[in-house]
């Protein structure tokens, strides 16, 4: 079975500081990897995805993530955060050839002024 672990439930960081949100997954088969962001009282918006190819993936709003197959990780990074980045971030996997996304429990990023 597949699973996703987001070790940090909350990450406070000062504005303009760098941030890394950690995601580890467990799967014995090929997976696709995603990061979604959820603002209060809203649905999920895709930040970036890894399907194949380059392990460094760039997304919207200055975010990037690196796929590390040996460590089964897909950590999300941003070199300089803004107040507007305050939100809940979800890492997700989808097993190749299936429809089902498996989400982590989320990391609440709080950017402080």
Partner 1 sequence: DAGVTQSPTHLIKTRGQQVTLRCSPKSGHDTVSWYQQALGQGPQFIFQYYEEEERQRGNFPDRFSGHQFPNYSSELNVNALLLGDSALYLCASRDRDRGTIWDTEAFFGQGTRLTVV
Size of the site for partner 1 (CB under 8 A): 25
CB of 80 to partner 1, least distance (A): 26
CB of 28 or CB of 99, closer to partner 1: 99
Q: Does 92 bind partner 1 (CB under 8 A)?
A: yes
Segment contacting partner 1 (CB under 8 A): 11-19, 54-62, 70-78, 104-112? Answer: 104-112
Three-class DSSP labels, the chain: CCEEECCCCEEEEECCCCEEECCEEECCCCEEEEEEEECCCCCEEEEEEECCCCCEEECHHHCEEEEECCCCEEEEEECCCCHHHCEEEEEEEEECCCCCEEECCCEEEEEEC
Closest CA to 109 of 27, 1, 8: 8
Of 60, 96, 110, 112, the residue at the interface with partner 1 (CB under 8 A) is 96
Q: Do 113 and 61 touch, CB atoms closer than 8 A?
A: no
Segment contacting partner 1 (CB under 8 A): 21-29, 58-66, 78-86, 95-103? Answer: 95-103
Segment contacting partner 1 (CB under 8 A): 14-22, 28-36, 57-65, 73-81? Answer: 28-36
Residues within the interface to partner 1 (CB under 8 A): 4, 32, 34, 36, 41-46, 49, 51, 90, 92, 96-106
């Amino acid at each position: 079975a597949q699973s996703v672990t987001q070790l940090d439930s909350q990450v406070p960081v000062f504005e303009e500081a760098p941030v890394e949100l950690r995601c580890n997954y467990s799967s014995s088969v090929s997976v696709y990897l995603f990061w979604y962001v959820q603002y209060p009282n809203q649905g999920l918006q895709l930040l970036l995805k890894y399907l194949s190819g380059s392990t460094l993936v760039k997304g919207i709003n200055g975010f990037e993530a690196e796929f590390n197959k040996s460590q089964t990780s897909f950590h999300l990074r941003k070199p300089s955060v803004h107040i507007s980045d305050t939100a809940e971030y979800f890492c997700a996997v989808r097993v190749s050839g299936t429809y089902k996304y498996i989400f982590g429990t989320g990391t609440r990023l709080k950017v402080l002024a």
